[in-house]
Structure formats: C-alpha cells, structure tokens
Amino acid sequence: MRKLKLEELNRASVSEFKEQEKLPVVVVLDNVRSMHNVGSVFRTCDGFAVEKICLCGITGQPPHREIEKTALGATQSIDWAHYADPLQAVQELREQGYFIIAVEQAEKSIMLNHFKAETGKKYALVFGNEVNGVSDEVMKNIDACIEIPQFGTKHSFNIVVSAGIVLWDFFCQNTINGIKR
C-alpha cells in the first residue's frame, strides 16, 4: 500500500472551502485555556467542515503563534467570532435557530451513542474549560447535554479528543441523513 501525496488528496482551497456546504454545526469554546487546544479544535472543525467556531471568555484568538502551531492554517478557512461572555454566544445562536448542546458529564445527559441528530436541525456544541468544564451559566441555558461514554479510570477526555469524537458522530449522522459529503 502506498501513502497518497499531498497533491493527490484533492483538498479544497480556502476559497473553495468557504463556498462548500457545511456541517450544520457551530462549535462554542467556553473559556478554553490552552492555545494548542484552540488551534487543534480549529483544525478538527476544518476537517469536518463545520460552519463556525465561537471563542468565548478567556479562549485565545487568532492570530496567535501557539494557535497557529496546531491549527496549520485552519484559522483562515473556519469562520470564527469572539464573545467576552459565553452566555451571549449561546443566546445569539439560539436566536439564530441553533439547538444548544453541552458536551459534559451532567445529570440527565444523553450518551453520545444514544443521541440522534435530526435532519435539517442546526446544532451548537459547547465544549468547556479543561479543568471546570462547561460553565454553570451556560449549563442553565442549554437544550440538551451529550456525554461521551468512557470505560477507563480517568474522568474525561482532552477537549480536542472530545471535539473529534462528537464532530465525527455528527458528521456520520448527517452523512446518513442525506447531507452530501
């Protein structure tokens, strides 16, 4: 088996990416501290063609050397906005018709493998701080909570791993529900 060369991957240019159909998902980063995590989330969102990232509170913003180190240019392709207050981002997204989902371990959370995305529905996925998770203020204003099943001794995944798992699930469900990829 031979690995493909970069020119064989047929990747979209930034301008082509901006015009292509997107996964009906916005990612909200609620006070994420690590610039490397922020950059990696940009890169993951680019890979799944999400609509936008909302960087909230203390979450770092491009341009920043540490973000670019892991984003590898994805800050140019993914639309993003900064909100001083994560709750403001959530409220604006709700007004725009997004169903707000926290990715968190909480009472009455739905295990990811039991969550079924609805065709035609837009989702905002909130990922929280590396230590404290999704803020209490945001948790009081969500429509649902998804939890990733875990079976080991640790109590959480890294935020980038969580984003990758959840976005992959949403991508697969939207592909199955007829979103052409």
| pLDDT at residue 176, as a whole number | 60
Cα–Cα distance, 136 to 122 (Å, whole number): 23
**Residue 11: inside a domain, yes or no?**
no
CATH of the domain at 157: 3.40.1280.10
Cα–Cα distance, 167 to 42 (Å, whole number): 12
**Residue 3: inside a domain, yes or no?**
no
The stretch 19-27 carries a mean pLDDT of 96
Average pLDDT, the chain: 95
How many domains does one find in the chain?
1
Contacts of 113 by beta carbon, 8 Å cutoff, 6+ apart: 149
**Residue 4: inside a domain, yes or no?**
no
Res 122 pLDDT > 60: yes
Q: What is the DSSP string of 33-76?
A: --HHHHHHHHHHHHHTTEEEEEEETT---SS-HHHHHHHTTHHH
**Residue 167: inside a domain, yes or no?**
yes
Res 181 pLDDT > 50: no
| pLDDT at residue 175, as a whole number | 72
* pLDDT band of 177, cuts 50, 70, 90: low
| pLDDT at residue 28, as a whole number | 99
Using DSSP's 3-state secondary structure scheme, residue 136 falls into helix
**Residue 84: inside a domain, yes or no?**
yes
**Residue 9: inside a domain, yes or no?**
no
Which of 115, 76, 97, 87 lies closest to 26 in space, CA to CA?
97
Sheet of strand 144-147: strand arrangement? 79-83, 50-56, 23-30, 122-127, 98-103, 144-147, 110-111
Q: Which domain holds residue 167?
A: 21-176
84: number of Cβ within 10 Å: 9
Res 180 pLDDT > 80: no
The stretch 92-102 carries a mean pLDDT of 98
**Residue 12: inside a domain, yes or no?**
no
**Residue 171: inside a domain, yes or no?**
yes
